[in-house]
Amino acid sequence: MQRVATGPPLPLPQPAGAASLSPPTTPPTGQASAPMDVILVPLLNIISTVISIYIWIIIIGAILSWLVTFNVVNTTNRFVYMVGDICYRLTEPALRPIRNFLPNLGGIDLSPVVLILILIFARDVLRGIVYAGY
């Protein structure tokens, strides 16, 4: 009968000069410590989620304005009016400065597209900050 050794496994031998693949026990200089990650990472994830929701509100507002313009939906319906009013109140403060900056293109409003691109850039920067240390 063969005897089986018990206890912790022996480490595998590494070639001379090979770097260890295990993560360092202390964070490198310039990165946040573990207690800060506990607060900062979820906070940045919440901000990223809020930005994504705001992008969807902009899209819903733009589509709803097209549907109202082409008489597909009627604003005398209380629900349609309420959704349109909420979208307008949430997006207009951010869209107004962009509309003032962009040239007048007639009936084409590109300010939602510009705002969505800015928000996507901000969200990607936040995600880069969150995942940079991992």
Indicate the helix (H) or strand (E) that contains 41. Answer: helix 34-69
Residue 122 lies in a domain: yes
Task: Give 105's strand partners.
Answer: 108
How confident is the prediction for the chain on average, in pLDDT? Answer: 82
* Structural domain range at position 71: 34-131
pLDDT score, position 106: 85
127 compared with 5, residue with greater pLDDT: 127
* Packing angle, helices 78-101 and 34-69, rounded to 10: 110
Is residue 62 within 8 Å of residue 112, measured between CB atoms?
yes
| Per-residue pLDDT tens digits for 69-81 | 999 999 899 999 9
Residue 79 lies in a domain: yes
Residue 18 pLDDT exceeds 90: no
Is residue 14 within 8 Å of residue 20, measured between CB atoms?
yes
The whole-model pTM stands at: 0.71
The single-letter code of the amino acid at 133 is G
pLDDT score, position 29: 55
**DSSP assignment string, 65-117:** HHHHHTTSS-TTSHHHHHHHHHHHHHHHHHHHHHHHHSPPBTTB--HHHHHHH
Token pair for residue 77?
């319906």
> Closest Cα to residue 67, out of 56, 77, 54, 52?
77
Residue 117 lies in a domain: yes
Residue 18 lies in a domain: no
Residue 70 lies in a domain: yes
Residue 27 pLDDT exceeds 60: no
| Per-residue pLDDT tens digits for 39-59 | 888 898 899 999 999 999 999
Residue 26 lies in a domain: no
Residue 10 lies in a domain: no
Residue 17 pLDDT exceeds 80: no
Tally the domains of the chain: 1
Residue 99 lies in a domain: yes
pLDDT score, position 37: 75
